Structure 1
Amino acid sequence: MAQKATSVPRTGSWSRPPGPPSGKDSSGDAMSRIMPRGNLAALDLGTNNCRLLIARPEGDRFVVVDAFSRIVRLGEGLGATGRLSDAAIDRTISALSVCADKLRRRRVVLARSVATEACRQAANGAEFVARVAAETGIMLDIISAQEEARLAVLGCQSLLESGEGPAMIFDIGGGSTELVLLEDGPDGPRIVDWLSAPLGVVSLAEAVPGHVSDPAERAAAYGRMTALMREAFAGFAARLPKDRPVRLLGTSGTVTTLASVHLGLPRYDRQAVDGLVVPAEAMRDIARRLSGMSMAERVALPCIGEERADLVVAGCAILESIMDIWPAERLGVADRGIREGILRALLDSGSRRKLG
């Protein structure tokens, strides 16, 4: 889905976390205008990952006090059946139960929990959300693709390279890929166009299986992946400005994984990766090398391992396709996104910082 926009509205609701209520209850809109005393939390349930961030407000900033991340593959098999599978739901509820326990133990006073593409697409998405509420106490908000893009930008735009000319921030998810075109405005970056393509690392890997032993077949599968992404991006690409300086920032497991490979890290290090700026050609070279490796060779690489080895090639194809339509010389890397955007939205409640 693509849409031109002069602004991306702030939507969504906030809720008390699981556990006994503290103080008088109020509506989400009213609560979003009040800065509570205590810890805040943001939970992002994607097609592939479940991520939680708990933070303490300090002025107009927040300090992280706890975090959780687990690969749950909620959208596994969704493209074929149109439904969330029982196994995927069980894995996800197990992870969300851990999150609910952390919310209680950290005495979170205000939380927002969002679900994205898998729950948007699934015929049983609403049923799943109801079961999560009943079993964990977590109230998931299935957000629109537009809201997902806005939160990702809000969470990582501070890492965008300074300079003139348009910029693009992208988020490669499990079930979708968001591209957001920004231009400088009097109050900071302004969203002028965006796209949510219904292909992410999980859905693309399922659409084009690439786990084959023959190198020529692997190359052919990678070619089919990039062709699918070029088609998905075509309408948006035609609207992009040409012959102007461009900046590029990515937030996703794909870009942080490839950045780790670029740095040769023995294990993932967020401090080394978050905010890194890498030559685009270096990232493209890594993407092509990974796409030509066997599964066993990818598993053996530090920072990839078994959990990411089967999906990283699809991520590489998406990343290369983005760099094709937005040929920046450098790629900024962000290990932050929707969760930080949720927290920032609360801290900015009243909206001193506007996008659009």
Structure 2
Amino acid sequence: MPEATPPPTTGVPHETVAAVDLGSNSFHMIVARIADDHMQIVDRLKEPVRLGEGLTDDRRLLPEVAERALACLGRFGQRLREFPLGSVQAVGTNTLRQLRPATEFVERAEAVLGHPIDIIAGREEARLIYLGVAHGLAAGPERRLVVDIGGGSTELIVGQDFTAQLRESLHMGCVNMSLRHFADGKVSAKTMDKAQLAGAIELRPVRETFRHADWQTAVGSSGTIKAIAAVVQTEGWSEDGISAAALRRLREALIGAGRVSSLDLKGLPDERKPVFAGGVAVLCAVFQTLNIAHMQVSDYALREGLIYEMMGRHHHQDVRERTMRTLSRQYQVDEAHGRRVQATALGLYRQVGGPWCLGDARYPRILAWAARLHEIGLMVAHSQYHRHGAYLLRNADLAGFTRQEQTILAALVLGHRRKFPTQDFAALPPGIRDCTKRLCVILRIAALLHRGRAPNNRPRPILQVEGDNLSLVFPDGWLNQHPLNVLELEQESDFLKGAGVRLAFK
């Protein structure tokens, strides 16, 4: 069987695509037309759901907030009803990162939206924000600091051209800062000082790194920063963007008003008022901590970054592939052996992907990456290396990967050898449990057939499946020439019984 590479993702197979951002303050959706490798935004929808204010201490959503969010997604879903699978990229950020999976809110949200929703890590959110902002700015060689204040988190990025070089996600945003320091609606010098100090404490671990990152210009994105820019410019305090002096005047104006309900600032919409003081406190802390004198404002952010990410994958510029190559080098993985396991795994996948309902375009790529990195844990220790590898892949900052993709990847590496980890697989979200188990069975067989590590060993078995009953048929004489493989297949048959899978071979 010749060595194979992962099939390309479908990327942007459609002329019209959409991106949905389930933020902690607002839900956003953009619809864009792709033509000649350019994006033209044709529709925007936004609703101030304020998901973050409904997150309870035990990481559940208040019922009224959950219903408000689902109603919004139902309206978005109506707009997206005719969009084919793969043409919509929907992501959840800070609040959904914290939400307890057992609430099944994401599953309900997917049902009303009509498209999958991926939860992305904070640093991945930062990378996508930078990608969107960079495409919205005039091309230039300077290094940029990008700041995005969301409802539940603030992302800081330093990058050049379209590449993010430093990425951080901090647990402070306009919603949680407003709830923590301005919940009673009062704004005073004391409460504002306390909120800014809390922001400075959050920034402290990354302060020196970002101060000395040699950036030349600061750019802000998100609703909070755009609202602040609109106010300071409408009030005549800043001609372009946000200056440090204008931000100080805005701070004093908030304190002078005394209450959120009393705010009478030109350019500030009513829907933004409940979280405005918290957002101003965060931005004041960022300006002061990072010594920012002036900040430009970008209309592009996470949503646009998602569209450009889809376009990049369509043109085989998938950052996930670069991430995999970096991991392979960093952990000194035997790449030649991994490629051989990958070739066999993909050959088996092509035979059973249809009958096993593994049609998602992501699955063969994740299977291929798991095959290439199934021995990554050897860098930690040989004993239980599959568990070490799974831990690394589950918890590492993998650029380009959603949490769901990392969960599947880690599960495949965990389950590729020894006793099948049935309890770990039972703990996977219901929507990916069965398909991950079947991908893992494919990987187990491929890894087993290459256990001898012979560079010229290219088995060509035929894999037939009927439910959880598997039959491996080898070329005439192959099993007689590989008695060790026979013993290993017998052992594997016993392992798979524990997972409810029956393996026969001849």
Say which of 165, 182, 197 aligns to 2:170.
197
Matches within 5 A, 1:19-34: 30-32=9-11
Paired residues of 1:78 and 1:118 also in contact (CA < 8 A): yes
CA distances 1:89-129 after superposition (whole Å, capped 9, x unpaired): 10011110111111125778611100011111112476101
- SS class of match (2:220): strand
Structure 2 residue identity aligned to 1:264 = T
Paired residues of 2:16 and 2:31 also in contact (CA < 8 A): yes
1:342 paired with 2:306, answer yes
Say which of 280, 283, 307 aligns to 2:244.
280
- SS class of match (2:80): helix
Deviation at 1:337, TM superposition (A): 0.7
1:307 paired with 2:247, answer no
Paired residues of 1:160 and 1:247 also in contact (CA < 8 A): no
Structure 2 residue identity aligned to 1:122 = L
Paired residues of 1:288 and 1:316 also in contact (CA < 8 A): no
- SS class of match (2:197): helix
Paired residues of 1:168 and 1:180 also in contact (CA < 8 A): yes
- SS class of match (1:335): coil
- SS class of match (2:42): strand
Deviation at 1:295, TM superposition (A): 2.0
Q: Which has the higher helix share?
A: 2
Q: Which moved more, 1:45-54 or 1:108-117?
A: 108-117
- SS class of match (1:260): helix
**Aligned mates of 1:315, 1:28 — CA distance in 2:** 44
Say which of 71, 95, 109 aligns to 1:94.
71
The higher-RCO structure (CA 8 Å, 6+ apart) is: 1
1:253 paired with 2:223, answer yes
Alignment correspondent of 1:225: 195
Alignment correspondent of 2:383: none
Alignment correspondent of 1:153: 130
CA distances 1:214-245 after superposition (whole Å, capped 9, x unpaired): x6xx2111111111110100010022344956
Aligned length, in residue pairs? 312
1:296 paired with 2:261, answer yes
Compute the TM-score of the two structures, normalised by the length of structure 2: 0.56
**Aligned mates of 1:58, 1:243 — CA distance in 2:** 36
**Aligned mates of 2:283, 2:194 — CA distance in 1:** 14
- SS class of match (1:149): helix
CA distance 1:248–1:301, shift in 2 (3 Å): same
- SS class of match (1:168): strand
**Aligned mates of 2:24, 2:213 — CA distance in 1:** 36
Gaps of 5+ in 1: 1-26, 266-272
Q: Which moved more, 1:249-258 or 1:325-334?
A: 325-334
Structure 2 residue identity aligned to 1:197 = L
Matches within 5 A, 1:88-167: 88-104=65-81, 110-124=87-101, 127-159=104-136, 166-167=143-144
CA distance 1:165–1:133, shift in 2 (3 Å): closer
CA distances 1:127-169 after superposition (whole Å, capped 9, x unpaired): 1011112334232111111211111100112455777764210
Deviation at 1:347, TM superposition (A): 1.8
Paired residues of 1:176 and 1:198 also in contact (CA < 8 A): yes
Structure 1 residue identity aligned to 2:280 = C
Say which of 138, 144, 150 aligns to 1:173.
150
Compute the TM-score of the two structures, normalised by the length of structure 1: 0.78
CA distance 1:297–1:39, shift in 2 (3 Å): same
Structure 2 residue identity aligned to 1:284 = R
Paired residues of 1:38 and 1:107 also in contact (CA < 8 A): no
- SS class of match (1:348): helix
Deviation at 1:333, TM superposition (A): 0.6
CA RMSD in angstroms, aligned pairs only: 3.0
**Aligned mates of 1:219, 1:165 — CA distance in 2:** 37
Structure 2 residue identity aligned to 1:31 = T
Paired residues of 1:119 and 1:126 also in contact (CA < 8 A): no
